[in-house]
């Protein structure tokens, strides 16, 4: 039997939703316990976490040794404290400067530190449009590369430092940031060139993209480190790091070109037509109408390429440059610390994870910010 | 509801009151002479001859695929013709980019799918061309934009993005956007075909008002009510040819050509 309706038709009041569908309880019910399968999966996951997390915590934190002079020392300290030997972070601590600066002369490392902060300051106005004094900041960002190069390799009043002294995270950042910053404009230009009406330009762009994509990065790095010497006139020196930077940038720009092309193709033809009909010139319509939309669509792909490039910088190890992985392997050769490879790789992994995760989050932030429709 | 009724009574009254203003001048503004166009080997436009005088309101109709959109798209060079001449305000359309730019500055276009720029606000959409094509200072361009947005009756939407508006509102923004360049000729490519029935009226009202102000208009449309009240000439196309060209009363009441009769009987049957 139904209860009597107490309101006139069309005047039903808004009621709050049932309490078990909102808040934390609602979330748990809706996401973790909403079907038999999900309940089983939830229980299994909790059990797996129980198996994994406590030992991991012990290894990373509780049983870890922070101060020691060798691996045996580590073991002895752990034994004295009455627990099994966890991570011997002391090793990382002792080698920390090598991981950060490579073989950069100790007396000049302040330059690397300043360069790092200048880089952050230059990125800030470029990446965030709510940055204070953004206009001045963008001019500073344009100038920053010159300052950074000057700080890092010296000259003009600073002690010159050879690029073969670069290593560790410094090297990763130099390769990653240069590759990312330079390859984006080249990639966009290649993508536009590939769609050009001018056959010569189009063929050159397609040829370049397909050639670079068809060759492994390692091959290009080998070419950079050895074969270029055959082509260059004898006696010329051409900085190895610079060659690597060029190769990495070209490699990345070919991939970016294809990502951007995908974005360009997703823009309806009507957009170009509307821009044309209004009398905008080709470059105006690209800059104001097409590229902002195409790049927005391409953000996930672009950031994906950037992350790939950043991690591929570890490949330079095979041509004798010491990135963090190379440093780690070199450190493991030390008999005092032999056998501590887990610590090294976990440490390097954390470094890469932080950088790459930051890029991924920034890409999400950007996508959200640029979302204008429904 | 017949199509005729979709055009609001006030707008029609206004139009009739200002009928003296609507007199077509004898100044030629568009001349199309023996124009042909091919897509590859497909002959889309065949021997098109058309003179448009300033202040004319021409409705172009015909079955789909008859080349009517292609024809008006040739007038601002969104499509290239291969033979014959198109002269717009004494500028001949050739491969010369300068001429194309000159023509596009004078000719506004409204598309079936609006083609608003989704990443820019309504106001930015409207101010863009004045700023970049005419080098109008930003503030002044925004004033112009607001003026035309007020005329199409959506000034309150200026800071929204196109994706937040209804279809009818979007099309009115598109019209305002074209008007911001103060064009002397407006091309409409099926401006109401993508709209829900209840939104067609608001767009047609704006177009009728525009006609009342003496704008030269070429309009591809299936709105026969609009053609009857606003057009001074109706052109019927089929298979790339202009089959019949007449004033609206003659065209609807007394179509000359067999194909025109068939077309009209089909679209007016329901």
Query: What's the gap in Å between the CA of B73 and the closest CA on chain A?
Result: 9
- Residue to test with chain A: of B89, B129, B194, most A Cβ within 10 A: B129
Compute the distance between CA of residue A314 and CA of residue A171 in angstroms, rounded to an integer.
Answer: 9
Q: What share of chain A is helix, strand, coil (3-state, %, to 5)?
A: 75, 0, 25
User: What confidence score (pLDDT) does residue A297 get?
Assistant: 93
> CA separation (Å) from A40 to A35, A153, B217?
9, 59, 68
Chain B window 75-114: which residues touch A at a Cβ cutoff of 8 Å? 76-78, 101, 104-105, 107-109, 111, 113
Residue B8 has pLDDT above 80, yes or no: no
| A64 vs A52 pLDDT, higher one | A52
Spans of all domains in chain A: 19-92, 95-104+161-370
| Phi, psi angle pair for B203, to nearest 5° | -75, -45
Residue B139 has pLDDT above 80, yes or no: yes
State whether residue B166 sits within 8 Å of chain A by CB. Answer: no
pTM value?
0.85
Residue A329 has pLDDT above 90, yes or no: no
Model confidence at B270, in pLDDT bands (50, 70, 90)? low
The whole-number average pLDDT for the span A194-222 is 93
- Residue to test with chain B: of A263, A271, A273, A274, most B Cβ within 10 A: A274
Model confidence pLDDT, tens digit, residues A19-49: 777 788 888 888 888 889 999 999 999 999 9
- Long-range contacts (CB closer than 8 Å, 24 or more residues apart) made by A234-243: A239/A163, A240/A163, A240/A164, A240/A319, A240/A321, A241/A163, A241/A164, A241/A166, A241/A171, A241/A174, A241/A321, A242/A163
- Mean pLDDT of chain B, nearest integer: 89
The whole-number average pLDDT for the span B211-225 is 92
Residue B257 has pLDDT above 50, yes or no: yes
| Residues whose CB is less than 8 angstroms from the CB of residue B174 and which lie 6 or more positions away in sequence, other chains included | B110, B111, B114, B115, B116, B191
| Residues whose CB is less than 8 angstroms from the CB of residue A284 and which lie 6 or more positions away in sequence, other chains included | A275, B132, B133
Model confidence pLDDT, tens digit, residues A330-356: 888 888 888 888 899 999 999 999 999
Q: What is the ipTM of this complex?
A: 0.88
Name the packing angle between helices A168-194 and A109-127 (round to 10°).
Answer: 40
The whole-number average pLDDT for the span A175-194 is 96
User: What confidence score (pLDDT) does residue B21 get?
Assistant: 46
Q: Is the dihedral of CA B173, B73, A267, A280 positive or negative?
A: negative
Chain A residues in contact with B171 (beta carbon < 8 A): none
Cβ–Cβ below 8 Å for B164 and A374: yes
CATH T-level fold of A95-104+161-370: MetI-like fold (1.10.3720)
Q: What are B90's two structure tokens? A: 């004494």
Residue B7 has pLDDT above 70, yes or no: no
The whole-number average pLDDT for the span B115-130 is 95
Residue A320 has pLDDT above 50, yes or no: yes
Residue A65 has pLDDT above 70, yes or no: yes
Chain B residues in contact with A289 (beta carbon < 8 A): 117
The whole-number average pLDDT for the span B150-167 is 94
B114 within 8 A of A368, measured Cβ to Cβ: no
**Residue carrying the six token digits 């397909």:** A210
Model confidence at A131, in pLDDT bands (50, 70, 90)? confident
Model confidence at A144, in pLDDT bands (50, 70, 90)? very high
The whole-number average pLDDT for the span B91-105 is 92
- Residue to test with chain A: of B130, B132, B218, most A Cβ within 10 A: B132
The whole-number average pLDDT for the span A263-290 is 95
Q: Which residue(s) pair with B33 in the sheet?
A: B85
Closest-approach residue (CA) in chain A for B112 = A270
The whole-number average pLDDT for the span A193-220 is 94
Q: Half-sphere exposure of A296 toward its Cβ, with a 13 Å CA cutoff? A: 19
Cβ–Cβ below 8 Å for B119 and A372: yes
């Amino acid at each position: 039997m139904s209860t009597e309706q107490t309101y006139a038709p069309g005047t039903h009041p808004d009621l709050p939703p049932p309490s078990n569908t909102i808040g934390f309880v609602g979330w748990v019910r809706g996401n973790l316990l909403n079907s038999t399968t999900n309940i089983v999966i939830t229980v299994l996951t909790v059990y797996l976490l129980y198996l994994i997390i406590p030992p991991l915590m012990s290894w990373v934190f509780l049983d870890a040794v922070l101060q020691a002079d060798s691996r045996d020392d580590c073991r002895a300290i752990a034994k004295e404290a009455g627990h099994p030997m966890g991570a011997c972070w002391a090793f990382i601590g002792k080698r920390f400067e090598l991981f950060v600066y490579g073989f950069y002369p100790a007396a000049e490392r302040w330059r690397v530190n300043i360069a790092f902060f200048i880089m952050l300051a230059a990125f800030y106005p470029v990446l965030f449009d709510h940055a204070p004094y953004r206009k001045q900041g963008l001019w500073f960002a344009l100038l920053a590369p010159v300052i950074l190069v000057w700080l890092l390799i010296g000259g003009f009043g600073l002690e010159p430092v050879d690029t073969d002294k670069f290593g560790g995270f410094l090297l990763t950042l130099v390769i990653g940031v240069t590759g990312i910053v330079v390859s984006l404009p080249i990639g966009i230009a290649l993508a536009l060139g590939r769609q050009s009406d001018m056959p010569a330009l189009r063929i050159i762009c397609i040829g370049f993209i397909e050639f670079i994509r068809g060759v492994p990065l390692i091959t290009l790095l080998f070419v950079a480190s050895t074969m270029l010497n055959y082509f260059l006139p004898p006696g010329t020196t051409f900085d190895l790091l610079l060659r690597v930077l060029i190769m990495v940038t070209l490699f990345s720009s070919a991939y970016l070109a294809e990502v951007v092309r995908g974005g360009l193709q997703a823009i309806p033809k009507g957009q170009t037509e509307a821009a044309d009909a209004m009398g905008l010139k080709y470059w105006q319509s690209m800059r104001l109408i097409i590229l902002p939309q195409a790049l927005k669509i391409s953000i996930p792909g672009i950031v994906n390429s950037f992350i790939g490039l950043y991690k591929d910088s570890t490949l330079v190890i095979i041509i004798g440059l010491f990135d963090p992985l190379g440093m780690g392997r070199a450190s493991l050769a030390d008999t005092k610390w032999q056998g501590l490879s887990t610590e090294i790789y976990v440490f390097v992994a954390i470094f890469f994870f932080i950088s790459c995760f930051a890029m991924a989050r920034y890409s999400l932030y950007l996508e959200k910010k640029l979302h204008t429709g429904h | 509801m017949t199509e005729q009724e979709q055009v609001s009574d006030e707008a029609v009254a206004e139009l009739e009151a200002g009928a003296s203003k609507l007199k077509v001048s004898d100044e030629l503004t568009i001349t199309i002479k023996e124009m042909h166009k091919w897509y590859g080997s497909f002959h889309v436009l065949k021997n098109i001859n058309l003179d448009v005088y300033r202040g004319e309101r021409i409705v172009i109709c015909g079955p789909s695929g008859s080349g009517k959109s292609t024809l008006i798209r040739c007038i601002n060079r969104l499509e290239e013709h291969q033979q014959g001449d198109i002269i717009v305000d004494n500028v001949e359309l050739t491969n010369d980019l300068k001429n194309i730019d000159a023509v596009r500055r004078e000719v506004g276009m409204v598309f079936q799918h609006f083609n608003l720029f989704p990443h820019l606000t309504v106001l930015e959409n409207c101010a863009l061309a004045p700023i970049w094509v005419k080098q109008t200072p930003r503030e002044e361009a925004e004033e112009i934009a607001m003026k035309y947005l007020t005329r199409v009756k959506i000034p309150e939407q200026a800071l929204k993005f196109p994706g937040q508006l209804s279809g009818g509102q979007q099309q009115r923004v598109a019209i305002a956007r074209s008007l911001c360049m103060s064009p002397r000729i407006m091309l409409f490519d099926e401006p109401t075909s993508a709209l829900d029935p209840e939104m067609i009226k608001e767009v047609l009202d704006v177009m009728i008002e525009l006609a009342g102000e003496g704008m030269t208009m070429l309009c591809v449309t299936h709105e026969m009510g609009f053609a009857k009240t606003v057009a001074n000439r109706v052109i019927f196309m089929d298979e790339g040819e202009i089959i019949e060209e007449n004033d609206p009363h003659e065209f609807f009441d007394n179509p000359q050509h067999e194909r025109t009769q068939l077309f009209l009987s089909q679209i007016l049957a329901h």
